[in-house]
Protein backbone atom coordinates (compact mmCIF):
# COMPACT_ATOMS: atom_id res chain seq x y z
CA UNK A 1 0.00 0.00 0.00
CA UNK A 2 1.41 3.37 -1.04
CA UNK A 3 0.49 6.40 1.02
CA UNK A 4 0.42 9.42 -1.28
CA UNK A 5 0.04 13.11 -0.50
CA UNK A 6 -1.49 14.96 -3.46
CA UNK A 7 -0.77 18.69 -3.28
CA UNK A 8 -3.12 21.30 -4.71
CA UNK A 9 -2.61 25.02 -4.35
CA UNK A 10 -4.06 27.11 -7.12
CA UNK A 11 -6.84 26.92 -9.70
CA UNK A 12 -4.89 25.14 -12.48
CA UNK A 13 -3.97 22.32 -10.07
CA UNK A 14 -7.45 21.03 -9.32
CA UNK A 15 -8.24 19.56 -12.75
CA UNK A 16 -4.83 17.83 -12.83
CA UNK A 17 -5.09 16.23 -9.41
CA UNK A 18 -8.78 15.18 -9.61
CA UNK A 19 -8.29 12.26 -12.06
CA UNK A 20 -5.22 11.04 -10.15
CA UNK A 21 -7.04 10.96 -6.82
CA UNK A 22 -10.03 9.31 -8.45
CA UNK A 23 -7.84 6.61 -10.00
CA UNK A 24 -6.22 5.99 -6.60
CA UNK A 25 -9.57 5.69 -4.86
CA UNK A 26 -10.56 3.05 -7.39
CA UNK A 27 -7.46 1.06 -6.41
CA UNK A 28 -7.88 1.44 -2.66
CA UNK A 29 -5.99 -1.80 -1.95
CA UNK A 30 -2.83 -0.31 -3.48
CA UNK A 31 -3.10 3.45 -2.85
CA UNK A 32 -4.05 5.56 0.16
CA UNK A 33 -4.37 9.13 -1.17
CA UNK A 34 -4.49 12.30 0.93
CA UNK A 35 -5.23 15.74 -0.50
CA UNK A 36 -3.35 18.71 0.93
CA UNK A 37 -4.58 22.17 -0.15
CA UNK A 38 -2.03 24.90 0.45
CA UNK A 39 -4.66 27.64 0.14
CA UNK A 40 -2.68 29.66 -2.44
CA UNK A 41 -6.07 30.20 -4.09
CA UNK A 42 -8.83 30.54 -1.54
CA UNK A 43 -11.83 32.36 -3.06
CA UNK A 44 -14.94 30.26 -3.61
CA UNK A 45 -14.73 31.04 -7.33
CA UNK A 46 -11.02 30.16 -7.59
CA UNK A 47 -11.08 27.05 -5.41
CA UNK A 48 -14.23 25.64 -3.76
CA UNK A 49 -16.37 25.35 -6.89
CA UNK A 50 -13.63 23.24 -8.49
CA UNK A 51 -13.86 20.61 -5.76
CA UNK A 52 -17.60 20.33 -6.41
CA UNK A 53 -17.41 20.39 -10.20
CA UNK A 54 -14.55 17.90 -10.40
CA UNK A 55 -15.93 15.67 -7.62
CA UNK A 56 -12.61 16.03 -5.87
CA UNK A 57 -12.85 15.02 -2.20
CA UNK A 58 -12.52 17.92 0.26
CA UNK A 59 -8.90 18.44 1.31
CA UNK A 60 -7.77 16.26 4.19
CA UNK A 61 -5.46 19.06 5.29
CA UNK A 62 -5.70 22.78 4.52
CA UNK A 63 -2.64 24.97 5.02
CA UNK A 64 -4.53 28.28 4.58
CA UNK A 65 -1.55 30.13 3.21
CA UNK A 66 -3.36 32.77 1.12
CA UNK A 67 -1.81 35.58 -0.91
CA UNK A 68 1.56 37.21 -0.45
CA UNK A 69 4.74 38.11 -2.28
CA UNK A 70 6.44 35.20 -4.03
CA UNK A 71 8.96 34.80 -1.21
CA UNK A 72 6.35 35.09 1.54
CA UNK A 73 3.88 32.74 -0.14
CA UNK A 74 6.52 30.12 -1.03
CA UNK A 75 8.08 30.30 2.43
CA UNK A 76 4.76 29.96 4.25
CA UNK A 77 3.78 26.90 2.20
CA UNK A 78 7.14 25.33 3.09
CA UNK A 79 6.82 26.17 6.75
CA UNK A 80 3.31 24.73 7.02
CA UNK A 81 3.91 21.69 4.80
CA UNK A 82 6.99 20.45 6.67
CA UNK A 83 5.21 19.33 9.88
CA UNK A 84 2.52 17.62 7.77
CA UNK A 85 5.17 15.61 5.96
CA UNK A 86 6.88 14.67 9.24
CA UNK A 87 3.59 13.56 10.78
CA UNK A 88 2.12 11.72 7.77
CA UNK A 89 5.32 10.07 6.46
CA UNK A 90 3.94 9.38 2.96
CA UNK A 91 5.67 7.09 0.47
CA UNK A 92 5.28 9.74 -2.21
CA UNK A 93 4.20 13.34 -2.61
CA UNK A 94 2.67 14.36 -5.94
CA UNK A 95 2.99 17.96 -7.05
CA UNK A 96 1.49 19.22 -10.31
CA UNK A 97 2.09 22.12 -12.67
CA UNK A 98 4.15 25.20 -11.98
CA UNK A 99 2.62 27.32 -9.25
CA UNK A 100 4.44 28.52 -6.14
CA UNK A 101 2.88 25.71 -4.09
CA UNK A 102 4.40 23.14 -6.51
CA UNK A 103 7.96 24.28 -5.92
CA UNK A 104 7.48 24.93 -2.20
CA UNK A 105 6.21 21.41 -1.45
CA UNK A 106 8.76 19.71 -3.74
CA UNK A 107 11.56 21.54 -1.94
CA UNK A 108 10.33 20.45 1.49
CA UNK A 109 10.26 16.83 0.22
CA UNK A 110 13.77 17.07 -1.23
CA UNK A 111 15.16 18.37 2.07
CA UNK A 112 13.43 15.68 4.15
CA UNK A 113 14.26 12.85 1.75
CA UNK A 114 10.60 12.12 0.92
CA UNK A 115 10.09 10.96 -2.67
CA UNK A 116 8.31 13.48 -4.85
CA UNK A 117 6.75 13.02 -8.28
CA UNK A 118 6.16 16.03 -10.54
CA UNK A 119 3.19 15.73 -12.89
CA UNK A 120 3.41 17.96 -15.99
CA UNK A 121 7.21 17.91 -15.79
CA UNK A 122 9.52 19.11 -18.54
CA UNK A 123 7.51 22.01 -19.99
CA UNK A 124 9.74 24.99 -20.81
CA UNK A 125 8.99 28.47 -22.13
CA UNK A 126 12.70 29.38 -21.82
CA UNK A 127 11.57 32.69 -20.35
CA UNK A 128 12.98 33.02 -16.84
CA UNK A 129 11.07 36.27 -16.25
CA UNK A 130 7.94 34.12 -15.83
CA UNK A 131 7.59 32.99 -12.21
CA UNK A 132 6.14 29.70 -13.47
CA UNK A 133 9.26 28.93 -15.53
CA UNK A 134 11.46 29.27 -12.45
CA UNK A 135 9.09 26.98 -10.56
CA UNK A 136 9.16 24.41 -13.40
CA UNK A 137 12.95 24.28 -13.77
CA UNK A 138 13.63 24.02 -10.05
CA UNK A 139 10.85 21.51 -9.32
CA UNK A 140 12.14 19.22 -12.06
CA UNK A 141 15.70 19.37 -10.75
CA UNK A 142 14.69 18.17 -7.26
CA UNK A 143 11.90 15.68 -8.06
CA UNK A 144 12.54 11.93 -8.03
CA UNK A 145 10.04 11.08 -10.73
CA UNK A 146 9.26 13.31 -13.69
CA UNK A 147 5.92 12.54 -15.30
CA UNK A 148 5.66 14.37 -18.61
CA UNK A 149 2.67 15.17 -20.85
CA UNK A 150 4.46 14.86 -24.21
CA UNK A 151 7.76 13.83 -25.82
CA UNK A 152 9.07 17.38 -26.22
CA UNK A 153 9.04 17.63 -22.43
CA UNK A 154 11.16 14.44 -22.16
CA UNK A 155 13.65 16.02 -24.53
CA UNK A 156 13.82 19.23 -22.46
CA UNK A 157 14.60 17.24 -19.34
CA UNK A 158 17.29 15.15 -21.03
CA UNK A 159 18.94 18.34 -22.29
CA UNK A 160 19.08 19.58 -18.69
CA UNK A 161 20.98 16.45 -17.71
CA UNK A 162 18.16 14.59 -15.95
CA UNK A 163 18.74 10.83 -16.19
CA UNK A 164 16.26 8.96 -18.43
CA UNK A 165 15.28 6.56 -15.63
CA UNK A 166 13.64 9.43 -13.72
CA UNK A 167 11.47 10.40 -16.71
CA UNK A 168 8.16 8.77 -17.75
CA UNK A 169 5.90 10.13 -20.46
CA UNK A 170 2.39 9.53 -19.07
CA UNK A 171 0.36 11.98 -21.16
CA UNK A 172 -1.82 14.88 -20.18
CA UNK A 173 -3.86 14.47 -16.97
CA UNK A 174 -5.74 17.70 -17.67
CA UNK A 175 -7.21 16.06 -20.76
CA UNK A 176 -8.44 13.21 -18.51
CA UNK A 177 -10.55 15.81 -16.69
CA UNK A 178 -11.68 17.45 -19.92
CA UNK A 179 -12.84 14.17 -21.45
CA UNK A 180 -14.49 12.99 -18.24
CA UNK A 181 -16.50 16.19 -17.88
CA UNK A 182 -17.43 17.17 -21.43
CA UNK A 183 -20.80 15.40 -21.20
CA UNK A 184 -21.58 16.70 -17.70
CA UNK A 185 -20.83 20.26 -18.83
CA UNK A 186 -23.69 20.10 -21.34
CA UNK A 187 -26.05 20.73 -18.41
CA UNK A 188 -24.45 24.12 -17.71
CA UNK A 189 -26.67 27.06 -18.68
CA UNK A 190 -23.69 29.40 -19.04
CA UNK A 191 -24.37 30.28 -22.68
CA UNK A 192 -27.96 31.25 -21.88
CA UNK A 193 -26.84 33.25 -18.88
CA UNK A 194 -24.55 35.35 -21.03
CA UNK A 195 -26.86 35.27 -24.05
CA UNK A 196 -24.48 33.77 -26.57
CA UNK A 197 -25.05 31.15 -29.24
CA UNK A 198 -22.64 28.28 -29.98
CA UNK A 199 -19.77 29.21 -32.34
CA UNK A 200 -20.79 32.87 -32.31
CA UNK A 201 -18.67 34.38 -29.54
CA UNK A 202 -15.08 34.69 -28.32
CA UNK A 203 -13.74 33.87 -24.85
CA UNK A 204 -10.86 35.75 -23.23
CA UNK A 205 -8.78 34.98 -20.14
CA UNK A 206 -5.79 36.95 -18.88
CA UNK A 207 -3.83 36.71 -15.67
CA UNK A 208 -0.08 36.68 -16.45
CA UNK A 209 1.70 39.39 -14.46
CA UNK A 210 3.47 40.55 -17.65
CA UNK A 211 0.08 41.26 -19.27
CA UNK A 212 -2.11 42.44 -16.45
CA UNK A 213 0.25 44.20 -14.03
CA UNK A 214 1.53 46.59 -16.71
CA UNK A 215 -0.89 49.41 -17.47
CA UNK A 216 0.41 50.07 -21.00
CA UNK A 217 0.20 46.41 -22.00
CA UNK A 218 -3.24 45.90 -20.49
CA UNK A 219 -4.63 48.97 -22.27
CA UNK A 220 -3.14 47.77 -25.54
CA UNK A 221 -4.83 44.40 -25.15
CA UNK A 222 -8.15 46.03 -24.31
CA UNK A 223 -8.04 48.22 -27.38
CA UNK A 224 -7.69 45.06 -29.47
CA UNK A 225 -10.51 43.31 -27.58
CA UNK A 226 -12.71 46.32 -28.14
CA UNK A 227 -12.26 46.02 -31.89
CA UNK A 228 -12.84 42.27 -31.85
CA UNK A 229 -16.01 42.87 -29.85
CA UNK A 230 -17.28 44.94 -32.77
CA UNK A 231 -17.49 41.65 -34.71
CA UNK A 232 -18.82 39.22 -32.12
CA UNK A 233 -19.57 39.06 -28.37
CA UNK A 234 -16.47 38.65 -26.18
CA UNK A 235 -16.94 36.93 -22.82
CA UNK A 236 -14.13 37.59 -20.35
CA UNK A 237 -14.14 35.82 -16.95
CA UNK A 238 -11.80 38.04 -14.94
CA UNK A 239 -9.09 36.56 -12.69
CA UNK A 240 -8.70 38.33 -9.29
CA UNK A 241 -5.22 39.59 -10.22
CA UNK A 242 -6.65 41.13 -13.39
CA UNK A 243 -9.65 42.56 -11.55
CA UNK A 244 -7.27 44.32 -9.14
CA UNK A 245 -5.34 45.86 -12.06
CA UNK A 246 -8.52 46.99 -13.79
CA UNK A 247 -9.63 48.76 -10.64
CA UNK A 248 -6.23 50.32 -10.15
CA UNK A 249 -5.80 51.59 -13.71
CA UNK A 250 -9.44 52.71 -14.20
CA UNK A 251 -8.65 53.34 -17.83
CA UNK A 252 -11.41 54.57 -20.10
CA UNK A 253 -10.55 51.80 -22.58
CA UNK A 254 -11.28 49.36 -19.81
CA UNK A 255 -14.27 51.08 -18.26
CA UNK A 256 -16.00 51.10 -21.60
CA UNK A 257 -15.73 47.36 -21.61
CA UNK A 258 -17.08 46.81 -18.12
CA UNK A 259 -20.70 45.77 -18.16
CA UNK A 260 -22.18 45.53 -21.61
CA UNK A 261 -22.41 48.99 -23.10
CA UNK A 262 -24.00 49.85 -26.40
CA UNK A 263 -20.58 50.45 -27.91
CA UNK A 264 -18.80 47.37 -26.73
CA UNK A 265 -19.82 43.77 -26.49
CA UNK A 266 -17.08 42.80 -24.02
CA UNK A 267 -18.71 41.16 -21.04
CA UNK A 268 -16.47 41.18 -17.98
CA UNK A 269 -17.74 38.47 -15.67
CA UNK A 270 -16.63 36.74 -12.46
CA UNK A 271 -14.32 33.70 -12.76
CA UNK A 272 -16.32 30.60 -13.73
CA UNK A 273 -16.32 27.13 -12.23
CA UNK A 274 -14.85 24.19 -14.17
CA UNK A 275 -18.05 22.94 -15.82
CA UNK A 276 -19.36 26.40 -16.75
CA UNK A 277 -16.01 27.38 -18.20
CA UNK A 278 -15.70 24.11 -20.11
CA UNK A 279 -19.17 24.64 -21.58
CA UNK A 280 -18.24 28.21 -22.50
CA UNK A 281 -14.89 27.68 -24.24
CA UNK A 282 -15.91 24.42 -25.88
CA UNK A 283 -18.55 26.33 -27.84
CA UNK A 284 -16.45 29.39 -28.67
CA UNK A 285 -15.53 30.42 -32.19
CA UNK A 286 -12.23 31.83 -30.91
CA UNK A 287 -10.32 31.87 -27.62
CA UNK A 288 -7.76 34.53 -26.64
CA UNK A 289 -5.69 33.71 -23.57
CA UNK A 290 -2.39 33.90 -21.75
CA UNK A 291 -3.07 30.70 -19.78
CA UNK A 292 -1.03 27.54 -20.23
CA UNK A 293 -3.79 25.00 -19.72
CA UNK A 294 -6.30 26.65 -22.02
CA UNK A 295 -3.84 26.38 -24.92
CA UNK A 296 -3.95 22.60 -24.43
CA UNK A 297 -7.68 22.31 -23.83
CA UNK A 298 -8.51 24.25 -27.02
CA UNK A 299 -6.00 22.15 -28.95
CA UNK A 300 -7.64 18.93 -27.86
CA UNK A 301 -11.05 20.31 -28.89
CA UNK A 302 -9.77 21.80 -32.17
CA UNK A 303 -10.81 25.35 -31.23
CA UNK A 304 -8.74 28.25 -32.63
CA UNK A 305 -6.70 29.87 -29.86
CA UNK A 306 -4.61 33.04 -29.91
CA UNK A 307 -2.05 33.18 -27.12
CA UNK A 308 -1.20 36.70 -25.97
CA UNK A 309 2.41 35.90 -25.13
CA UNK A 310 5.75 35.86 -26.93
CA UNK A 311 6.49 32.23 -26.04
CA UNK A 312 4.84 29.05 -24.86
CA UNK A 313 5.93 26.07 -22.80
CA UNK A 314 3.41 24.04 -24.81
CA UNK A 315 4.85 24.06 -28.36
CA UNK A 316 2.81 21.00 -29.32
CA UNK A 317 -0.29 23.24 -29.40
CA UNK A 318 1.39 25.36 -32.08
CA UNK A 319 2.52 22.31 -34.07
CA UNK A 320 -1.05 21.02 -34.11
CA UNK A 321 -2.13 24.25 -35.78
CA UNK A 322 -4.85 25.25 -33.31
CA UNK A 323 -2.78 27.73 -31.30
CA UNK A 324 -0.86 30.81 -32.42
CA UNK A 325 1.43 33.12 -30.46
CA UNK A 326 0.39 36.71 -31.15
CA UNK A 327 2.14 38.72 -28.41
CA UNK A 328 0.47 41.84 -27.03
CA UNK A 329 0.58 44.32 -29.90
CA UNK A 330 -2.96 45.61 -30.49
CA UNK A 331 -2.66 45.53 -34.29
CA UNK A 332 -1.28 41.99 -34.31
CA UNK A 333 -3.97 40.67 -31.96
CA UNK A 334 -6.76 42.27 -34.00
CA UNK A 335 -5.34 41.15 -37.34
CA UNK A 336 -4.88 37.55 -36.20
CA UNK A 337 -8.30 37.47 -34.56
CA UNK A 338 -10.02 38.69 -37.71
CA UNK A 339 -8.07 36.18 -39.80
CA UNK A 340 -9.04 33.35 -37.44
CA UNK A 341 -12.71 34.40 -37.55
CA UNK A 342 -12.66 34.40 -41.33
CA UNK A 343 -11.27 30.89 -41.51
CA UNK A 344 -13.40 29.24 -38.89
CA UNK A 345 -17.10 28.92 -38.41
CA UNK A 346 -16.94 26.02 -36.00
CA UNK A 347 -14.28 23.90 -34.39
CA UNK A 348 -11.88 22.05 -36.66
CA UNK A 349 -11.29 18.27 -36.47
CA UNK A 350 -9.72 17.34 -33.16
CA UNK A 351 -5.97 16.79 -33.50
CA UNK A 352 -4.65 13.46 -32.25
CA UNK A 353 -1.84 13.81 -29.73
CA UNK A 354 -0.23 10.64 -28.37
CA UNK A 355 -1.24 9.95 -24.75
CA UNK A 356 -3.79 12.78 -24.55
CA UNK A 357 -6.33 10.00 -24.41
CA UNK A 358 -8.05 10.33 -21.03
CA UNK A 359 -5.85 7.57 -19.54
CA UNK A 360 -2.95 9.62 -18.19
CA UNK A 361 -3.94 9.25 -14.52
CA UNK A 362 -3.80 5.40 -14.55
CA UNK A 363 -0.34 5.72 -16.14
CA UNK A 364 0.72 8.04 -13.29
CA UNK A 365 -0.25 5.25 -10.87
CA UNK A 366 1.67 2.63 -12.84
CA UNK A 367 4.74 4.86 -12.87
CA UNK A 368 4.52 5.30 -9.09
CA UNK A 369 4.22 1.55 -8.52
CA UNK A 370 7.17 0.85 -10.78
CA UNK A 371 9.36 3.57 -9.25
CA UNK A 372 8.50 2.32 -5.76
CA UNK A 373 10.23 -1.00 -6.53
CA UNK A 374 13.62 0.67 -6.93
* Residue from 22, 53, 98, 154 in contact with ligand UD1 (CB under 6 A): 98
* Residue from 6, 7, 11, 191 in contact with ligand UD1 (CB under 6 A): 11
The full DSSP string for 41-93 is: S-SIIIIIHHHHHTTPPPPSEE-------HHHHHHHHHHHHHHHHHHH--SEE
- Give the DSSP H or E segment for 204: strand 202-205
* Residue from 43, 64, 215, 270 in contact with ligand UD1 (CB under 6 A): 43
- Exposed, middle or buried by CB within 10 Å (0-12, 13-18, 19+), for 345? exposed
Number of residues engaging ligand UD1 in binding (CB under 6 A): 19
Q: How far is the CB of 153 from ligand UD1 (least distance, A)?
A: 17
Q: Is 188 in the site for ligand UD1 (CB under 6 A)?
A: no
When the beta carbons of 173 and 368 are compared against ligand UD1, the nearer one is 173
Residue from 37, 41, 118, 207 carrying the catalytic annotation: 207
Q: How far is the CB of 28 from ligand UD1 (least distance, A)?
A: 31
Q: How far is the CB of 54 from ligand UD1 (least distance, A)?
A: 15
When the beta carbons of 13 and 150 are compared against ligand UD1, the nearer one is 13
Q: Is 124 in the site for ligand UD1 (CB under 6 A)?
A: no
When the beta carbons of 38 and 265 are compared against ligand UD1, the nearer one is 38
Looking at residue 165, the DSSP 8-state letter turns out to be G
- In 143-273, alpha helices (H): 151-159, 173-185, 190-193, 209-212, 215-228, 240-249, 252-257
Q: Is 210 in the site for ligand UD1 (CB under 6 A)?
A: no
Among the listed residues 34, 32, 42, the one whose alpha carbon sits nearest the alpha carbon of residue 77: 42
When the beta carbons of 141 and 210 are compared against ligand UD1, the nearer one is 210
Q: How far is the CB of 265 from ligand UD1 (least distance, A)?
A: 25
Task: State the distance between the two ends of the chain, measured CA to CA, in whole angstroms.
Answer: 15
Question: What whole-number distance in Å separates Cα of residue 350 and Cα of residue 329?
Answer: 29
Per the DSSP assignment, residues forming a β-bridge with 7 are 36
Question: What whole-number distance in Å separates Cα of residue 288 and Cα of residue 294?
Answer: 9
Looking at residue 355, the DSSP 8-state letter turns out to be T
Does 207 qualify as catalytic in the annotation?
yes
Q: How far is the CB of 308 from ligand UD1 (least distance, A)?
A: 14
* Residue from 20, 36, 37, 41 in contact with ligand UD1 (CB under 6 A): 41
Looking at residue 164, the DSSP 8-state letter turns out to be G
Looking at residue 275, the DSSP 8-state letter turns out to be H
Question: What whole-number distance in Å separates Cα of residue 90 and Cα of residue 78?
Answer: 16
When the beta carbons of 242 and 282 are compared against ligand UD1, the nearer one is 242
Q: How far is the CB of 27 from ligand UD1 (least distance, A)?
A: 30
When the beta carbons of 211 and 334 are compared against ligand UD1, the nearer one is 211
* Residue from 4, 7, 8, 12 in contact with ligand UD1 (CB under 6 A): 12
Q: Is 270 in the site for ligand UD1 (CB under 6 A)?
A: no
Piece of 93-101, 253-261, 320-328, 360-368 that binds ligand UD1 (CB under 6 A) = 93-101
Among the listed residues 211, 307, 225, 231, the one whose alpha carbon sits nearest the alpha carbon of residue 268: 225
Are the C-beta atoms of residues 49 and 79 closer than 8 Å to each other?
A: no
What is the Cα 63 distance to its own chain's centre? 21
* Residue from 46, 180, 199, 318 in contact with ligand UD1 (CB under 6 A): 46
Q: Is 133 in the site for ligand UD1 (CB under 6 A)?
A: no
Q: How far is the CB of 211 from ligand UD1 (least distance, A)?
A: 11
Positions touching ligand UD1 (CB under 6 A) are: 10-12, 40-43, 46-47, 67, 98-100, 131-132, 207, 239-241
Indicate which residues carry an active-site annotation: 207
Amino acid sequence: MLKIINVVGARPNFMKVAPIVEAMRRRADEFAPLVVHTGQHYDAAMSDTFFRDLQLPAPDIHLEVGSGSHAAQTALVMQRFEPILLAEKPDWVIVVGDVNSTLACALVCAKLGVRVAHVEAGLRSRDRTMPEEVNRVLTDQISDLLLTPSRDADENLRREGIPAERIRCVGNVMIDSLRANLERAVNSDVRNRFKVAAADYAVVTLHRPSNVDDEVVLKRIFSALDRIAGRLPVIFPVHPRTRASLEQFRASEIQNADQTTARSQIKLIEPLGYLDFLRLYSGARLVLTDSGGIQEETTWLGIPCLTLRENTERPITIEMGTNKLVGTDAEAITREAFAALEHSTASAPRPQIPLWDGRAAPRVLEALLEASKS
